[in-house]
Structure 1
Amino acid sequence: MPTPSTAARWCYAALWLFLLTLYSSLASATAAQQTESDQPALQTPYVAFVGNGPLVPRSNSQSIPITAMNLSEVDVEILAITDPETFLNQQYLLDNPSPYTLEQLKHAYKSVYAERFRLPPGKDNIATSARLPIPHDFASGWYVVVLKAPGSFYEIQAKHMLLTNVGIQARVYASQAVFSLTWLNNGRAIESGMVELYRDHQLHQTAEIDEQGMAVFEMALKPTDVVMVRAKADGKQKADVGILPLREVPLDLSDHAVGGRAYQTTEALIYSNRDLVKPGETLPINVLLRDQDGRALSDTPITVSVLNPRNEVILTRQLKPQAAGYFFSELVTTATWMTGRYKVDVRLDPSAEKPISRFFFMLEEFVPERMDLTFTAPAALVTAGNDLRVDMKGRYLFGSPAAGNVLTTELVFQPVQHLPGPFEAFYVGHPQKLENMYETRERQTLSDDGEVTVLLPTPAKEALKSPVATTANFALLEAGGAAVQRSLRYVSWQDAAVPGILPATKDVGYDSDATFALGLISADGQILQAGELTVTLDYDQGTHYWLYEEGVGWSRKKQDRWRRMATRTVTVEAGKTAELSLPVSWGDYLITVTDNDTGMSSTYSFYAGWYEAANRSKPSRNMPTSSWIKRLIRRVSPLKRPSPPRLPAACW
């Protein structure tokens, strides 16, 4: 057999060296890919303001709270409003100016500060909180603060900022306006200065501030007016400026019962010993007649009218005073009177349309209780799976125990999403339906001492997706008498901490930010624990969509109901909540918060848009046929079938 030549041996050696190098490279690449796959993917970086209010009081630590994720720096620009009347008449205090708005109003502001702010170190995919310092050399006034991630040119965050130490309270009437002015740092009244009213880009009128911190305009104000307060230096207080645009929505006192009833010169005070009467019983009626100063009117007669539940006058009687300003009458009811709510009216003039006073009483057939049933109130929150022990005691009102009487117990179960305690406003758990919402327990007989122990059940913890409120209705029966009824309520939940969700507002507007306070509530519902929470936001896109194809027409296609819109990781501290804002467009949304340690989760569903739930369009519907909407529909080939665009409800 011929031996290989030297050249052939060198070729074999080179080939083996190449194969070894290739194998080593492939092994290194595979290990690197394995390492990368083990690491979670970085979420989209973002930065946002925390809170909605524009006021930043002047102080040594003046700053604005912000939150950011997967960012080490943020770009900050502060715009000083040079034309408040123009800018504030097109923006509300809680508005977040968009890039388009800032571009249109650029003549009303100027840039006074631009800087790149370094954030505190944070972990990947976990929101980091920080405070953005405001330079102390800024003059008091109105500003807009703009935030964005470095290298980002589409997503910006803008927020109004009023930098001042002046507090303004305005009370606006039809032909008068009163302003109350205070220093924010100590709450004292501003004792000197000037209030200026600007209208149509001109100084319209001024008013001096008196020693009580008040300024008054004897004129009708317009919603487009802008008020500027120039407070003079006062002791340790430096001169300062405050601004208030009157277009802001005020507290409308007409929605509240602050006016009371109309004034009248004579008052009639009606009282009796009870307001529940059986047919055939007598009800004493007492009336005290007083003038506007509380003095008794001794020589004035009154007319008393009784009206039945149908508002028909069944009795009219004129009374004379039995003593100084005191009237008395006995109202004898009969068995022929209908049961219901009766009214007793008092008038000075029998022909007057309205009475000067009115008294109500109920006429009912009832059997008075002859027994009492007492128990010690149990805990408001009970761990699921454990029975609740209630010791009850029944006795007759004249003292002897209700020995041998029968006690019935009926239970009503109702899923809730709240835990009793200081954090009852937070939503916890998931909405659920129970297979059995009612239960009747076996009857129990009271002992010779009139005592009995009742064991109330709680749902099994494995079946709980949310807390369950249980109402226990007890009835102590008596032969020939009325049953004594009592009730108690308790909530059952698992022995584990659960995330809580508190929405900042009930209504969420179209194309806005939905803000929530998040916390990890302890199992007993009394404290907030520390932990790490994962937050997801899903959009309800419906289970089907309509598709138009050339030559085929409309067809209905299936799709997943929920579409993931955002994922955040939030760290909460013990005793504190974390605030989170998520951008939404329109439609139904579902926010889910999960405790990363235990896996316990809570959900809260909400609607973003202009309309109430009853007027919403269904997720699966045919597209409109008007010509301007038809132009939005893409006619596609059978190989490419995207769903048609979804529009806000206002466009339909």
Structure 2
Amino acid sequence: MNRRIAVIFFALVACLLAACGDKSETSPPALQALANVAATPPPPAGAFALVSAAAEPYENRPAITLVFSRPLVGQQSFDQLLSIQLKDGAPADGSWILDEDQHKLRFPYLEADRNYTVSIQSPLMASDGSALGKDQVLDVYSGLLAPVVGFASQGHILPTHESRGLPIVSVNVAEVDVEFFRIRDAALNGFLSRYQQNSRQSYWEMQNLVALGASVYANRFALKTAPNERAVSFLPVRDLPELAAPGLYFAVLKRAGTYNYEHDTAMFFVSDIGIHVRAYRDRLLILTNSLESGEPKSDVAIEIADAKANTVIKASTDSNGLAMVAYHPNPAHLLIARFGKDIALLPFNQPALDLSEFTLGGRAQTDLEIFPWSGRDLYRPGETLRVSALLRDFDGKAVKPQPLYVTLKQPDGRAVATEQLKPGELNYLSYDRQIPPDAATGKWSLDWSSEPTMAHPVSFTFRVEEFLPERMKLSLDAAEVLTPGAPLALSVEGAWLYGSPAGGKRFTARLSLQADVHPVAALPEFHFGDPLAELPKQPRDVVDEVLDAEGKLHTEIALDEVKAPTGPVAVILAGSLYESGGRAVNRALKRTLWPAAELVGARPLFDLKEGATPRDTASFELLRSNRRGDLLAASKLQVKLLRDRRQYHWRWTDGSGWQTDYLSSWENVTGQTIDLAVGERKKISFPVDWGGYRLEVFDPA
């Protein structure tokens, strides 16, 4: 009996197709040495068995790892074949993860200092088909988390009127000692130039920093945290009169009762002045607001000081809280805003905005825009390069005629020629130049600019290559539809363009496999099969032979990787026919392997890129089709909607500090059984919330 499954996996913000086949700043909190490892008898030589079971750290959190003598089958439902629970019988929250080598099963993010019982069922299967053979029960101790404490981040601005306090992160720490230093106004620039971010400072480094300020408060703070849990606590800075004065502060933190060479440190500001700065080419726009009310602050004294505390710029904000000064940011300078006794700082040696997680590109906007184009982007040495261009303003409108400057650059970036072009009617420009016969091959560029210095250029890129027209033709053919277990019968025919067969020429081919979720041309919007099927990621060489005297070759290629596919598979063959000198003519052939004559398909009735509307319904169309797109009847199709439940966890990484991660598991939300008549497309709908979902349709026929 053939089983067929159609699966759609969608998210409510960004959507993705997925499927399944027939299958239901401080030092890191390192784990202490584990006190217990489950005793497992040595496996017989060559047999499939459990090698070891032990607790070990995974992303600096307790985890239990099982090691097997043979690689496991990845499609198994490990959460059903293996269970893990506390000694009192309470199940552990999470899922098993199979390592890349497929020998290790890991259950991460466990509670520290707990005893767990792991049960393994006998049907657990290795990749060669052998089963474990008997049930096993093991006891494993998860281990302890070492105490750790540190500041959550750096550069906090704590408003004078209200603040939760200075945040710190701790694990298994009951008390901390903190000393606060207020940096002198004259030493602000020097301090900020030395101290860039939260970090662990040695005694020698702190001596240089605290010399720029004075100790104003020190005390021990009690932390209310649960054992073996990461917790965020807030030091009540705003409740301390010693720390109420506006300014820059430097805090030193250590765990009570410890005397290490290095301590965690942080700087923070106390102020009611919010500063927003926009930098232009030769001007700086400064906006000041009250952090308490959000209203613009007028008559704020603005000062820009250099590294020696000398004043470079002075200004004051108007009634709208704005000040425009003729200045370009210098990393060695510091902007100081004063209003009465209040003070706010903005160092220019830090990023304007933290956009490190975003991919930024392109060039800055200019008053004039140049639009170059050409009918070709590939030339041979000695040919004439012809490129046209239009000059417009930043909004695409016509401007007064003016000359443009053009520089031709070879692949190594060196300029070959620079010249001035005068525009014609409608500001149209044309550039014609012969490429040198001995020109270097590679990626060339033609840079356009409205300034003689070639500032803010617009580039037109093209390639110069020694290419020749093909002298042979190659034809590849095979059956349109492939069946599981059958080889790909490939027919090859090669000939010279003047008609003579390419007899005796070498032919090679590489085979690639990938899921084909749209195999029916008549139903391009419907999704079929198993887009997440485990297929080889790399192509393999399958043919290396010589054509016969008639320029032909017939061969069969085994498709052992897809003997029992769970969905349509695209079989892609890339063939190459070689001339005597080694130059090749390349052609590709694509065929689809169908797991059965009919398949169930599903079409989402919403935009997959945008996702379904959360807290609404997600609708789909279901059908059953053959290769030609004929709509067939179906009985008792089992439809399931699963939701991606994610358990988020904190972890420590050197250089990045605390980061969040998650463990994903699928939860069956709802389901129904439906029938389809001949020619019918049935609509179904499910209520959905925020998050990721997966739709599975199982055909028992």
Question: Shared fold by TM > 0.5?
Answer: no
TM-score by length of 2: 0.37
Which structure: greater helix fraction? 1
Which structure: greater strand fraction? 2
Return the structure number with greater relative CO, CA threshold 8 A, min gap 6: 2
